[in-house]
Amino acid sequence: MKRTALSAVLLAAVAITAGAQSQVPSFAPPPPQIVATGHGESKVASDRATIMIAVETRAKTSAEAGQANARKLKAVQDTLIRLGIQRDQIATVHYSVSPDWRYEERKQRLVGYVAMNMLRIQIRKLEQVGQLIDASLAAGATNINSVEFTASMLDSARRVAITAAVAQARADAEAMARAAGGSLGQLLEITTQDMGGPRPMMMQQMRTMESKAMADVETPITPGEQTIMATVFARWQYVAR
C-alpha cells in the first residue's frame, strides 16, 4: 500500500514537471528590420531684417552725456518714423551711462562719461534697409552694430525639407533590402529631429557717421536665402524572399 502511494506521488510530480516544461514560452528571434536616416533641405528667400542701431555720446558729466544721447537718439527715431517705420518696430535693447576711465602711467584718471543707447529695428521691406542705415547715420547714429536677415515663411519650407528627408531614408532602405536579397515591408516607426530652424544671416556693419560721410552711394544690402534642414529616422520590416 505504501509503495502504491509513493508511486502515485512520483507519477504526479513527473506529470507536473512535464506540464511546467511544456508551458515554458519559446522566444522566437525578432523579425529582421531595416533602419535608415534621411536628410533634406530647402531654401527660402529672406523677407525680414533686423538692424541694431546705436548712439554713443561722451561728455564731462553723466547728465550731459545722457542729455546729448537723448537728443541724438530722438533725431534717429524721428527719422526712422518719417521713413515709414512704425513705433512697434522700434525697441530699446540696451542703455547705459558709465565713467570713461583713462590709464596713464599706471594711474586711472576719470576723463568723462559715456552714454550708450541701442535700438532694434524690425524691417518688413528689405529694399528699405540701405536707406534706413544711411538715414540713421546722418541723423546722429554712431554705430550700426549688425543687420540680421530672417524669413517669415518657414513652415512650408520645413515641410519640403522633411519630405526630401523621408524620400532619402526610404530610398536608402529599399537599396539595403534589395542588396540583402529581400524587399521593404511595413513601416514600423518614423520620427523627425528638430534642427532648430535656420540661422539668421548676420552682416556686421560697425559703420560710423564719419565713414558714411565718405560714401556717395546708398549702402548696398544683399539679403540672400535661408536654408532649412531636416533629419528623419525610419524603421521598416525586412521581407525575405
Q: Which three cell numbers stand for residue 230?
A: 531636416
Q: Which helix or strand (DSSP H or E) is residue 175 part of?
A: helix 154-179
Region 127-145: mean pLDDT is 95
Greatest mean pLDDT among 8-12, 16-20, 56-60, 197-201: 56-60
High-pLDDT (> 90) share of the chain, %: 66
Region 106-126: mean pLDDT is 94
Q: Which helix or strand (DSSP H or E) is residue 123 part of?
A: strand 107-123
**Gap between the Cα atoms of 80 and 43, Å rounded:** 31
Q: Which three cell numbers stand for residue 241?
A: 524572399
The model's confidence at residue 26, banded by pLDDT at 50, 70 and 90, is low
User: Which range among 75-84, 89-98, 144-153, 192-201 shows the weakest confidence by mean pLDDT?
Assistant: 192-201
**Gap between the Cα atoms of 202 and 237, Å rounded:** 45
**Gap between the Cα atoms of 178 and 195, Å rounded:** 31
Region 137-149: mean pLDDT is 94
Closest CA to 204 of 145, 118, 133, 149: 145
**Gap between the Cα atoms of 63 and 97, Å rounded:** 9
Closest CA to 164 of 36, 34, 42: 42
Domain ranges of the chain: 29-46+152-199+220-241, 48-150
Structural contact between residues 67 and 57, judged by C-beta atoms closer than 8 angstroms = no
- At 216 the pLDDT is 62
**Gap between the Cα atoms of 161 and 168, Å rounded:** 11
- At 212 the pLDDT is 47
- At 176 the pLDDT is 96
Structural contact between residues 57 and 143, judged by C-beta atoms closer than 8 angstroms = no
Region 139-167: mean pLDDT is 93
Q: Which three cell numbers stand for residue 92?
A: 530699446
**Gap between the Cα atoms of 181 and 241, Å rounded:** 7
User: Which range among 57-71, 103-117, 128-142 shows the weakest confidence by mean pLDDT?
Assistant: 103-117
Region 31-58: mean pLDDT is 95
Q: Which helix or strand (DSSP H or E) is residue 11 part of?
A: helix 2-22
**187-196 confidence digits (pLDDT tens):** 999 999 866 5
- 35's CB contacts (< 8 A; 6+ apart) are 173, 233, 234, 235
At residue 30, the 3 state secondary structure works out as coil
CB neighbourhood size of 234 (10 A):
22
Please provide the CATH number assigned to the domain covering 29-46+152-199+220-241: 3.30.110.170
User: Which range among 44-53, 60-69, 174-183, 202-211 shows the weakest confidence by mean pLDDT?
Assistant: 202-211
- At 220 the pLDDT is 85
CATH 3.30.70.2970 fits 48-150, yes or no: yes
The model's confidence at residue 241, banded by pLDDT at 50, 70 and 90, is confident
Region 61-84: mean pLDDT is 97
The whole-model pTM stands at 0.69
Average pLDDT, the chain: 85
